[in-house]
């Protein structure tokens, strides 16, 4: 079963899709089942060294306690923040020239995921 906001990757063409309506069935692209992206998580202590975990700092959420490097070969493609009930979301799509941050005055956002083109999906919580 797919769940609201789940992300799926086509390992053939690289398409990434997000579930907007929970349901049953298999998601297929390029005639193959898509892979569900499971966000990586680490301990709070490890997060001080890791540059992939979204970090909440007031109204700004940045990727890494030390900002993740951004270049053509290694960059963050998007950051998405969302509320506990998943009814409220905000997404920013990034290019290698951008700083991997998102800003929101909405205090309902308690979770963030980011997608690194080399290291996949990462989760950070407020």
| Class of domain 7-37 (CATH, top level) | mainly beta
The pLDDT of residue 44 is 64
Q: How far apart are CA 16 and CA 34, in angstroms?
A: 9
Provide the 10 A C-beta neighbour count for residue 39.
18
Domain with CATH 2.20.28 in the chain: 7-37
Q: Within 10 A of 15 (CB to CB), how many other CB atoms are there?
A: 12
Residue 48 has a pLDDT of 63
Asked whether the beta carbons of 27 and 17 are under 8 A apart, the reply is: yes
CATH superfamily of 44-125: SOR catalytic domain (2.60.40.730)
pLDDT attached to residue 67: 93
Distance, CA of 103 to CA of 82 (rounded, Å): 12
State the span(s) of the chain assigned CATH 2.60.40.730.
44-125
pLDDT at 42 (0 to 100):
77
User: 10-residue block means of pLDDT along the chain (126 residues)?
Assistant: 96 97 95 97 70 92 94 98 96 98 92 96 94
The Cα 46–Cα 70 span in angstroms is 21
pLDDT, residue 51, reads: 87
């Amino acid at each position: 079963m797919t769940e609201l906001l789940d992300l799926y990757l086509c390992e053939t063409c690289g398409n990434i899709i997000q579930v907007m309506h929970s349901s049953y069935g298999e998601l297929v692209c390029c005639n193959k089942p898509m892979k569900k992206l499971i966000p990586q998580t680490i301990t709070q202590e490890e997060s001080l060294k890791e540059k992939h975990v979204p970090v909440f700092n007031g109204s700004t959420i940045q990727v890494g306690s030390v900002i993740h490097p951004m270049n053509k070969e290694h960059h963050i493609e998007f950051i998405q923040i969302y509320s506990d009930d998943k009814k409220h979301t905000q997404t920013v799509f990034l290019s290698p020239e951008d700083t991997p941050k998102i800003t929101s005055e909405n205090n309902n956002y308690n979770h963030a995921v980011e997608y690194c083109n080399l290291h996949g999906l990462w989760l950070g919580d407020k």
